[in-house]
Structure 1
Amino acid sequence: MLSIITVNFRQLDVTLELIKSLIQFAPKDSEWIIVDNGSQKDISKLLEQMDPRIKVVTSEENLGFAGGNNLGIEVSKGDFLFFINNDTIVTENSFQPLLESLEDEKVGMVCPKIHYYYTPNTIQYSGFTKINPFTGRNSVIGEREQDQGQYDSVRKTYFGHGAAMMLRRKVIDEVGGIPEAFFLYYEEMDWSKKIRKAGYEIHYNGKAKILHKESISVGKLSPLKEFYMTRNRILFMYRNYSLFYFIGFFFFFMILSFPKRYFFLLNKDKKLNNALKAGLYSALLYLFNKSMAQPKDGLKYA
């Protein structure tokens, strides 16, 4: 059975649009776990009456992307788990090609081609390149290109995309759930690293497609996003690369990347600039005293 897991954070209208697409295209033999994260009111009756495959799990505490999905894992029953953002829309070919990819035991995670919802022939994701260990940067393959079938292949990629990723339960049991040290952003990159270190491959399957309403949850440019992207970029590099590479990255970040971003935001919005500095401070706390580095510190910028 396939378990489809999504996290709702006070965006009922957005989640309802996803559910409508699931009703149209999801496999009959599937369950849909809706994790109502930071719940303010009970939406279970409203959602569960829409389709018998829906199960709502409520958390009054905001568990973040990782914690919310991990709660979904705990209550799910499927042998295959499909994690999708609540701001996505599934299509008729969102499922079967991914399930076929996971028939290969060496594949630990597979992701579909992702298109921008508002410009549906424009690609958002068709795989990731390798991260440069000195800059901490990589590229999204095909991003903002028009889809002319150039990425319809099935191939290995370095990282999955958090908006849509399918795994076998066996793999999750082996490597653990989504890392919760990040709370928001970079957790799927860290998870992908763990999966590959366990000997599995990450695949991109261009025969499957999903539509994504990019950054509806936190905004294209927001203090919340600024905090976590800054903090978690440093955490990711620290957790996944050798001391040699991390020192090189940290010099690059502090001498070039951070000052450039700081002066760019200085003339835009004071809140964005404050969030950038706070993200750096939180990352430094993590490096020197993990017990003081609370993943939820960035919520003050929500």
Structure 2
Amino acid sequence: MAYSPTHTAIVILNWNGLKFLQEFLPSVVAHSAGCEVIVADNASTDGSVAFLQEHFPQVRLILHPENYGFCEGYNWALCQVEATYYVLLNSDVAVPQGWTQPIIDLMEADAVIAVCQPKIISQQHPGLFEYAGAGGGMLDALGYPYCRGRLFETLEEDRGQYDDVQEIFWATGACMFVRADAYKALGGLEPAFFAHMEEIDFCWRAKNAGYKVLYNGQSAVYHVGGGTLHKSNPRKTYLNFRNGLALLYKNIPSRELFSTMMLRVLLDWVAALRMVLAGQKKDAKAVLKAHRDLLRNRSYWQSRRQAQRQKGSFPDMPGVYRGSIVWQYFVRQKRTVREL
């Protein structure tokens, strides 16, 4: 198949997400003119594949023999896709007409932009930003991720305050536009993460390689969030805490590694104690298991080489808040990014 120089492939990774495909895939197919729509299936058992074959024969199917998780699932799928741009899109996202064009136009105008995301709005509450991505992903000086429009569990109303184009630290994996040659050059998503925070690791590596990560609020999509793994699930707690520390260990410069890691571990223990006091003992155990497994996993230890390429100080990188959002949120009661 011959592709135009700006061919865009929208790739949805699916695992037992039949209800989301039924609800949201029609908008993706109808509103993504000029793009190839692909579903990569992680060995679903809920009838997803049969549904796609019967109702969406125009959608290309890539079938994995087993559940590879988010990271390997996309890596295996994208190595079979020829395109100029990949769009990694969650199955629980509704899109409006023409949603891809503002972002593709932006990336076409600057070859240094490797990654870009649109504005992420809550599908259930369209007046609010959605947790996973909101108005663009940032990190604080201790590596805690947050978003413009979302601090911890506090979501801002969308009043047009983030309808801008802004360099950010990370773009959400719920709807992430990626330059295909950059994806390949960077080795794709980190398989050891399985799922959660893999997009932050990818964007950090992209920045270390000299690329830019941008947000374009001129495009917006509507995300359910927590569709495959709810935020109250201890498995999600485990992945977030394990990968949060792995993210730092992999990427932060050596001169800042020890102090940052020690502070993060201490704050994780404080978080685990709060979970115990709140009756969330399974989540507290998940935090401790995350720390144990991080120490045991040699693949993280072997990937420190990428951090050595980083120049300058981590807090000086674009998209990093030099303070602590934990202090600002829980002690100083700051609830929006503009209050920081």
For 2:232, the equivalent position in structure 1 comes to 221
**In the alignment, which of 87, 92, 117 is matched to residue 111 of structure 1?**
117
Alignment of 1:86-165 (within 5 A): 86-103=91-108, 104-124=110-130, 125-132=134-141, 135-143=142-150, 144-165=155-176
Alignment of 1:18-33 (within 5 A): 18-27=24-33, 29-33=34-38
**In the alignment, which of 36, 59, 81 is matched to residue 76 of structure 1?**
81
Paired amino acid for 1:90: V
For 1:5, the equivalent position in structure 2 comes to 11
| Per-residue Cα deviation, 1:73-128 (whole angstroms, up to 9, x for no partner) | 02222221100111111112421111111102111111000001111121231112
Equivalent residues of 1:66, 1:179 under 8 A apart: yes
Distance 1:98 1:289 in 2: 33
Alignment of 1:128-207 (within 5 A): 128-132=137-141, 135-143=142-150, 144-207=155-218
When normalised by structure 2's length, the TM-score is: 0.79
Equivalent residues of 1:48, 1:55 under 8 A apart: no
Report the CA distance shift for 1:41/1:10 in structure 2 as closer, same or farther (over 3 A).
Answer: closer
Question: Could you list the runs of 5+ residues in structure 1 that have no partner in the other structure?
Answer: 292-302
Distance 1:66 1:99 in 2: 23
User: Does 2:273 correspond to 1:263?
Assistant: yes
For 1:63, the equivalent position in structure 2 comes to 68
3-state SS of 2:161 partner: coil
Q: CA RMSD in A?
A: 2.0
Report the CA distance shift for 1:250/1:138 in structure 2 as closer, same or farther (over 3 A).
Answer: same
Report the CA distance shift for 1:53/1:128 in structure 2 as closer, same or farther (over 3 A).
Answer: same
- The offset of 1:248, in angstroms, is 1.0
3-state SS of 2:83 partner: coil
Distance 2:9 2:183 in 1: 13
For 1:34, the equivalent position in structure 2 comes to 39
- The offset of 1:45, in angstroms, is 3.9
Equivalent residues of 1:98, 1:110 under 8 A apart: yes
Report the CA distance shift for 1:61/1:167 in structure 2 as closer, same or farther (over 3 A).
Answer: same
Equivalent residues of 2:86, 2:177 under 8 A apart: yes
Distance 1:51 1:77 in 2: 21
Between 52-61 and 106-115, report the one with greater CA deviation: 52-61
- The offset of 1:179, in angstroms, is 1.5
Q: Report percent identity of matched pairs.
A: 24
When normalised by structure 1's length, the TM-score is: 0.88
Paired amino acid for 2:68: L
- The offset of 1:288, in angstroms, is 9.2
Question: Could you list the runs of 5+ residues in structure 2 that have no partner in the other structure?
Answer: 1-6, 303-340
- The offset of 1:58, in angstroms, is 1.9
Equivalent residues of 1:160, 1:202 under 8 A apart: yes
Between 5-14 and 232-241, report the one with greater CA deviation: 5-14
| Per-residue Cα deviation, 1:227-286 (whole angstroms, up to 9, x for no partner) | 11111111100000123322112221232x122221222242332222221111111113
| Per-residue Cα deviation, 1:140-199 (whole angstroms, up to 9, x for no partner) | 112222222221111211111111111221222322211212111111001001111221
Equivalent residues of 1:114, 1:211 under 8 A apart: yes
